[in-house]
Amino acid sequence: MPVALLFLIALQLQTAAAPLVTLMGLKPQFVAALVVSLGFLYGPLAGATWGFAGGLALDLLSGVPLGVSSFALTAVGAIWGHVAAGLKSPGWLVLALATFPALVAYDTLVALWLQGLGWPLSLGFSLVHVALPGAILSALPVPFNYYILRWLEERSRRFEVRSWD
């Protein structure tokens, strides 16, 4: 439930606030960054499920054909969750460093889909001018995601222990 609330906040930030706080015309990708964090901390299943939900919501609120962002975020959430499963308690720095290629992969996948569907997008421009700088910008809130998610995890564990008592 708290993760769902965090997810809704990220979604609202993405649609209402992100377009107002652009840097060099680029918007931070709050939802994508949160999905990567969820996959990284809770595994590929959580990454894929939240990636699918987040991507679908982004598709509905953007002009991207329904299914494009959900495909890209499901894949990225699942793959990064799988990669992180091999790491022992990754810290926020590892998460931030892993988020960067994840977000580049996400934007590239979306651009590839759009190009495949006949949208006049330049893949080179998308990678150099959108995906790479956008990923740096979007990786910035990752430490916050990390600590909030860790705090939520601790809180729910404590709650479970108390319920057993």
What is the contact surface with another protein in residues (CB under 8 A)?
12, 14-22, 25-27, 29, 31, 43-45, 48-49, 51-52, 55-56, 58-71, 74-75, 78, 107, 110-111, 113-114, 117, 119-122, 125-126, 129-130, 134
- Smallest distance from the beta carbon of 33 to another protein, in angstroms? 12
- Smallest distance from the beta carbon of 165 to another protein, in angstroms? 29
Q: Is 28 within 8 Å of 141 (Cβ atoms)? A: yes
- Smallest distance from the beta carbon of 83 to another protein, in angstroms? 14
Q: Give residue for tokens 């894949």.
A: 75
For another protein, give the closer residue by CB, 13 or 92. 13
- Smallest distance from the beta carbon of 21 to another protein, in angstroms? 8
For another protein, give the closer residue by CB, 2 or 65. 65
Range 125-164 burial, b when 16+ CB lie within 10 A, else e: ebeeebbeebbebbbebbeebbebbeebeeeeeeeeeeee
Q: Is 95 within 8 Å of 87 (Cβ atoms)? A: no
Give one word for 24, left, alpha or beta, with left for phi > 0 and alpha for psi -120 to 50.
Answer: left
For another protein, give the closer residue by CB, 111 or 142. 111
